[in-house]
Amino acid sequence: MRRRLALAGVIAGTLPWVVMILVPTSRERRVNLDPVQGLTDVLTGDPRAAVVQMGGNLAVFAAFGALGPLRWRLSAWTVTGLAALGSLILESLQYVLCLGRVSAVDDVIVNALGAGLAALLTRRWWLRNAERDAPGPSRSAPARPHTSLSRSVRRRCAAPWWRVSRRRSRTRTAGRPGPRS
């Protein structure tokens, strides 16, 4: 269930940004392959525009960075690399589809940085959940040997719920007397 919720969070947190990035504008398309120039242009311009531009670029793949490791058990480096690949694809689509947007290398870098930072900020959380979901005995609690349980309890615990419930319903409806008081 947790993995499904993580997937829903990745989709809900990333899809709106992707749609916004791929909406055409009336401007002319451009390419900026110099990341230093692109970042300095953004940071030396209007401060509000810089916050919107940098914050938006950091947030594009932040949901993937925060929740992707829960769904697919990825490392922070893998998340960053996949976010860079996804951002490169989006920037290429912006240029190829003539959407009137600037296709820039600095956007790829900042998008990947946002996913990597989100992965690192939530690392403790998804590592704890991965440890909880890992097969085998937990590190926090000692393993219980099966010999401490009676054979009938082990059978009941190992049986599927429908078999256990049928056994109970048969004994109740079979007309057998219950336990003596």
**In the chain, which residue ranges form alpha helices assigned H by DSSP?**
2-21, 35-44, 47-59, 62-72, 76-96, 105-121, 123-133, 151-158, 161-173
Tokens of 19: 């749609």
CA 117 – CA 109 distance, rounded (Å): 12
State the pLDDT at residue 127: 74
Is the full-model pTM beyond 0.85? no
- Work out the burial of residue 29: count CB atoms within 10 Å of its CB; fewer than 13 is exposed, 13-18 middle, 19 or more buried: middle
Per residue of the chain (181 residues), what is the pLDDT tens digit?
888 999 999 999 999 999 999 999 999 999 999 988 888 988 898 999 999 999 999 999 999 999 999 888 899 999 999 999 999 999 999 999 999 999 999 999 999 999 999 999 998 887 776 667 666 554 555 555 545 555 655 555 555 555 555 555 555 555 555 556 5
State the pLDDT at residue 13: 94
Cα–Cα distance list, 71 to 30, 46, 60, 122, 133 (Å): 36, 38, 18, 13, 12
State the pLDDT at residue 54: 93
State the pLDDT at residue 159: 55
State the pLDDT at residue 162: 55
CA 131 – CA 69 distance, rounded (Å): 12
State the pLDDT at residue 112: 97
Terminal alpha carbon distance of the chain: 44
Q: Cβ neighbours of residue 153 under 8 Å, at least 6 residues apart? A: none
State the pLDDT at residue 125: 81
Handedness of CA 113, 37, 95, 92 (dihedral sign): negative
Q: Cβ neighbours of residue 80 under 8 Å, at least 6 residues apart? A: 65, 112, 113, 115, 116, 119
Amino acid letter at 156? R
